[in-house]
Each structure stands twice: as C-alpha cells, then as structure tokens.
Structure 1
Amino acid sequence: MAQLKPYRGGYYLWEYVPSLPAAIIFLILFVAATTFHFWKLHRTRAWFCLAFSLGGLFEVIGYIGRAAAHNATDSVIVYAIQNVFLLLGPTLFAATVYMTLGRIIRSVHAEKHSLVRINWLTKTFVMGDVVSFVVQGSASGLMATGDKAKLGSNIVVASLLIQVIMFGLFIVTSAVFEVRMRRSPPTEAFDQRINWISRVHTLYAVSALILIRSIFRVVEYAAGNDGYPLTHEWMLYVFDSVLMIICMIIWGIWYPGSLSRLIEPSQEIVTEEVAGIGLKGR
C-alpha cells in the first residue's frame, strides 16, 4: 500500500499521497485531447497552434509524473517533473490564444480597431507569456529542494501574477476589439468563413478558464505548504485539471486552423473574394 514518505530527514515533498485513479483518468483524457490536437495541427498546418498542442503534451507528462508519484512520494525527480510540466502546460495554451487574436484582426482587416497596435499585439502578450514561462520553469525546480522551497514558491507566485495581469489585459483588448467591430464593421466582418464573433467568443472562454486556473495557482502557492489548497488534492483537479481539459475540448471544437489560409499569402485575397460574393448576390 502506498505511503507518504519523507524526501530526507523530516522534510516531505507531498502533503498527501497522490491519487493514482485520478491521475490515470486525467492522463487518459489529456492523451486523447492532445492526440486530437496534433491531428488537427497536421491537417490544417496552422503552426501558430503548435504551442497549444505542446501544452497538451506537457499536461500528459505532468499526469504521468503524478501517477508515478503515488508510489514514490520521496522521489524529488518525480515531484519536480509533475510540478514543472503541470505549471507550464497552460502557459503554452496562452501563447496560442494570444497569437490567434492578431490573426482574427488581420483576417477582417480591422487593424484600426485593435487597442494595441497590431504589429505589437502578439509580441506584447507572447513576450509576457515567455517571461512567465521561463520564470515558472526555473522556480518550480527550486520548490523540490527543502532549503529553497519557499523562495521557489514565491517566485512562482510572482510569475503567475504576471500571467494573470497579462490575461486581464488581453481580455480587455479582445472586448474593446469586439465593441469597435460591432459599431463599425468592415466588409470582411460579414465573411462567414471567418466568423470572427464565434472566434472571439472562443478566446473569451479559453482565456477565462486559464485565468481562473492561474488565480487558483496564485492562491495555492501564496497559502504555503500548510494551506488548504496544497493539502487537499481535490482542489488541483477541480481548479486546474478539469478547467484545462475543458480548454482543450473548446479549442479542439472551434479550432482556428483556417485563419492562416484567410490572411495568407496576402490579405487582398480575402477582400476580393468577399467583394465577389457581394456582386454575385446582386
């Protein structure tokens, strides 16, 4: 029977024995979702969605680590693997979400409606995401060492706060874009292939789920090793695992793979086709 064992001396990596059934269930779910996303990526060649698929792969590795931890609560390697990959997976989801908004705006020729200059839109949010990714990745490793665990936890909280702030700004930017589009829609806004409203609402849904998850993680680490979130495993599954699998399902159903074809090789193609549709309808 699995037991909670100390890493060294009286220091415990875990506050509970990780549930093997829960880890296996979500491992299966994320394997299925990730496989589907890589298949969609292969079919559409929408390479800006690669980060999202890799995020799913990170989740898979993370839950393999949690499953292994059931019988290895004293293994610092297993603890670090599940901790690092489960922290970083949603950060990769966020990168694709950020890149998608810029493509939506370009596909409808609505650069003037963007709150942030279109040339800086993706760069600004993705750079914030990269900073959060790097900081979380380096700090989560420190959390596996007893003497630097508190420092690592504080750094992770700081990086998660960066992620929360960036997501808040991103949601505001998306909302402003939608309001301006409804007030003054360009011709391309009526192109049913683009369906920009549905795509923006998909961004809202996925962004909100990742934002809630990030806020939970901030609370989790800020509360410390003796806090309720880190001592009760169900909270991780409810406020992280479930939310992230829903993210993958939503993104998979409303996959933005066709956006690249609508804005490449030149945006004029979309304009000409929409104009042609309008002439035929007369």
Structure 2
Amino acid sequence: MAVLEPYKGGYYLWKYIPSLAAAVIFLLLFIVATGYHSWKLHKTKARFCIAFVIGGIFEIIGYVARAAAHNQTGKLMPYSIQSVFLLLGPTLFAASVYMALGRIIRCVRAEKYSLIRINWLTKVFVMGDVLSFMVQGGASGLMVSGNTAKLGSNIVVAGLVIQVLMFCFFIVTSVMFQVRMNRCPTPESFDERFKWKSHLRVLHAISLLILIRSLFRVVEYVQGNDGYSLTHEWTLYVFDSTLMFVVMLIWGIWYPGNLQVLLKENMPLTSLMSRDVESRQGYSA
C-alpha cells in the first residue's frame, strides 16, 4: 500500500499520495492524442506542428513519472520529472499556435493587417515562448530542495507571467487581424480551400485554454507548497491535465496542417485567383 514518505531531513516532496488511476488515465489519453498528431504531422509535413507533438511527448513523460511516483513519494527522480515535463509541455503547444498565425496571414496575403510586421510576427512570439520555457525549465530543479524551493517557485512564476503576457499580446494581435480582415477582406480570403476564420477560431480557443492553465499555475506557485492547489491533486487534473488534453483534441480535429500544404503549392493563391479572373474576363469578351 502506498504511503507518503519524506525525501530528506523530513522534507516532503508531495503533500498527498499522487493518484495512480488518474495518472494512468491521462497517460493513455495523451498517448492516443500524441500518436494521432504524429500521424497527421507525417501526412501533412507541417513542420510548425512539430513543437505540438513534442509537447504531447512531454505530457506523456510527465504522467509516466506521476504514475511511478505513486509508490515512490520519497524519491526525487519521479517528482522532478513530472514537475518539469508537465510544466513545460504547454509551452511547446504555444509555439505551434504562434507559428500558425503567421501562416494564416501569409495564405490570405493579408500582411498589411498584421499588428506586427509579418517577418517579425512569429519570431517575437516564439522568442517570448523560448524565454518562458528557459526560465521555467531552469527553475524547476530548484523546487525539489527545501532550501531553494521558494526561490525556484518565484522564478517559475516569473516564467509563467512571461507566458501569460505573451498570450495576452498574441490574442490581441490575432483579434485585431480578424477585425481588419472582416472590414476589408483580401481576394485570397475567399478561396474555399482555406477557411481562415475557422483556423483563427481554433487559435483563439486554444490560446484561451492555455492562458487559463497558465493563470492556474501562477496561482498555484504563488500560494506556495502549503497552498490549496499544491495540497489538493484534483486542481491539477481539472485546470491543467483536462485543459491540455482538450487543446490536443481541438488541434487534432481542426488540424491546421493544410496551411503548410497551401504555402508549398507550386502556384501561389494569388496566381490562381488572377488566372481565374482573367479566364472569366476572356469568357465574357
């Protein structure tokens, strides 16, 4: 029978015995979701979705570690692995989301409607995401020691705040783009092969879910080791695990891989549209 054991000097890594059943359920869910995303990635060759698949792998590793920790609450390795990988997985999801917006804008030839210059759009958000990733990842190791746990928690909060701010800016950028497009759509936006509004709705939904999860994590670490969130396991599964699985589900159902296909076609959308207009004019003449 699993018991709560101290790590060193009476310091407890866990405030509860992690549920084996919950860890296994979400492990299986993320295995299926990541497998599906890997298949879609192979089929579409959408390289900007690679980070999304890696994020799914991070989730899998995290729940494997949580399952192992059920009977090893006094062991450092399972605790560290689940802490780091579950913390960083959504950051990789965010990277794919950021890269998708730039491709949407290029596909409909609406660079002039972007709040940020299109050549810098993806770079700005991905660099912010990388910074958040590095800050959170670097601080995760500090949280496993009683002496540096508070410092590590504060640094993780800083990384999460960076992520939250970048997401808020991203949402503003994508919403402004949509507003401008609705006012004066480009000719390419009428191409039925590309449903840019549908893709934007997916980005907005996923961004909101990751934002909620990040805010939960901020609250979790601000409360500290004795706070409600870190002492009640259900909060993690409701505000992190479930939300991130839904993110993978949404991305999988409305997969944006066709963005890569459209951008790689031999004839640009603009040429297709021009040729269609010319053919109609010739027919009318």
TM-score (norm 1): 0.97
5+ long unaligned stretches in structure 1: none
Equivalence for 2:70: 70
In 2, the alpha carbon distance for the partners of 1:276 and 1:149 equals 63
* Residue of structure 1 equivalent to 2:100: 100
| 1:261 shift after superposition | 2.1
**Match of 1:143, SS?**
helix
- CA distance change for structure 1 residues 277 and 254 in 2, over 3 Å: closer, same or farther? farther
1:169 is matched with: 169
The aligned counterpart of 2:11 is 11
State the partner residue of 2:271: 272
Matched residue SS, 2:28 = helix
Residues 19-78 of structure 1 deviation map (CA, whole Å, 9 limit, x = unaligned): 000000000000000000000000000011000000000000000000000000011111
Question: Which residue pairs with 2:260 in the alignment?
Answer: 260
User: Residue 219 of structure 1 corresponds to which residue in structure 2?
Assistant: 219
Deviations 1:197-251 (A, max 9, x none): 0000000000000000000000000000111000000000000000000000000
User: How many pairs does the alignment contain?
Assistant: 281
Measure the CA separation in 2 of the matches of 1:110 and 1:41.
26
AA at the equivalent of 2:210: I
**Which residue of structure 2 lines up, in the alignment, with residue 34 of structure 1?**
34
Deviations 1:93-115, CA, capped at 9 Å, x for gaps: 00000000000000000000000
Q: Give 1:275 shift.
A: 3.5
Q: Deviations over 1:246-280 (max 9, x none)?
A: 000000011111111212367x6111223445566
* 1:122 partnered with 2:133: no
Residue identity opposite 2:273 in structure 1? V
Give, in angstroms, the shift of residue 138 of structure 1. Answer: 0.9
Percent identity, aligned pairs only, is 64
Shift in alpha-carbon separation, 1:29–1:277, aligned structure 2, 3 A: farther
CA displacement, residues 162-188 of structure 1 (integer Å, 9 cap, x when unaligned) = 000000000000000000000010100
Q: Are the aligned partners of 2:44 and 2:261 in contact in 1 as well (CA < 8 Å)?
A: no
Q: Which blocks of at least 5 consecutive residues in structure 2 are unaligned?
A: none
| Structure 1 residue matching 2:268: 3-state secondary structure | helix
**Aligned partner letter, 2:38:** F
Change (3 A) 1:280 1:16: farther
Report what 2:230 is aligned to: 230
Q: State the partner residue of 1:113.
A: 113
CA-based RMSD:
1.3
C-alpha offsets along residues 118-159 of structure 1, whole Å, 9 cap, x if unaligned?
011000000000000011111011111121111000000000
Structure 2 counterpart of 1:147, one-letter code = N
Task: Give the aligned residue type for 1:90.
Answer: P
